[in-house]
Amino acid sequence: MNPSPSDAPPLLECRGLSFSRNSERIFGPVDFRLSAGEALMVLGGNGAGKSTLLRVLAGLLAAGEGEVQVAGRVVDQGHLARGCTFLGHLSGHKAELSALENLRFTAALQASRTDPDQALAEVGLAGFEDNLARRLSAGQNKRLSLARLRLSPAPLWLLDEPYANLDLDGIGL
């Protein structure tokens, strides 16, 4: 028997989450629940701790206090959470691979069922398949990162500054 949506654990849950660096509290305590299909935008000034919060949620940094759960499983701090895809400031693209080769590499690693050519087209990069990642503009590289998200089977996407370097058409994606 599959649980009904109301019985399913939240996709992302934080309880009493905080983070400090050099005895200075960066954020917290934070408590929230996010169900499948919901979105949450974290706003704040430069240096306010938004990126740090996302890294803690993803399991890439250990929380000072509190707990993070993804789909009902406690996140093992220091390891990317199962069921989570994190898009940070750096693209992670292989500069000497083409846009399509980068996506094929990711698709193979993630056993993705999404066609890399289709993912490129969906983000407006049809016709750029053979361009090396190092030759793409900052906005095109961001679009390539968004195409990589399409390949992920993870139900939770944590995006750090997803609109950075995108033009108005890119923001509409």
Q: Where are the domain boundaries for CATH 3.40.50.300 in the chain?
A: 12-82
CATH fourth-level superfamily of 12-82: P-loop containing nucleotide triphosphate hydrolases (3.40.50.300)
Query: What's the pLDDT at 89?
Result: 87
CA distance 160 to 67: 20
pLDDT tens readout for residues 26-80:
999 999 999 999 999 999 999 999 999 999 999 999 999 999 999 999 998 777 7
Q: Over 80: is that where the pLDDT of 3 sits?
A: no
**What residues are paired with 89 via a beta bridge?**
none
| Average pLDDT value for residue range 68-93 | 88
Task: State the DSSP string of 4-15.
Answer: PTTTSPPSEEEE
Q: pLDDT grade, residue 1 (50/70/90)?
A: very low
Q: pLDDT grade, residue 5 (50/70/90)?
A: low
Smallest CA-to-CA distance from 11 within 30, 32, 27, 29 is with: 32
CA distances from 173 to 45, 124, 147 (A): 24, 9, 10
| Predicted TM-score of the model (pTM) | 0.86
Q: pLDDT grade, residue 91 (50/70/90)?
A: confident
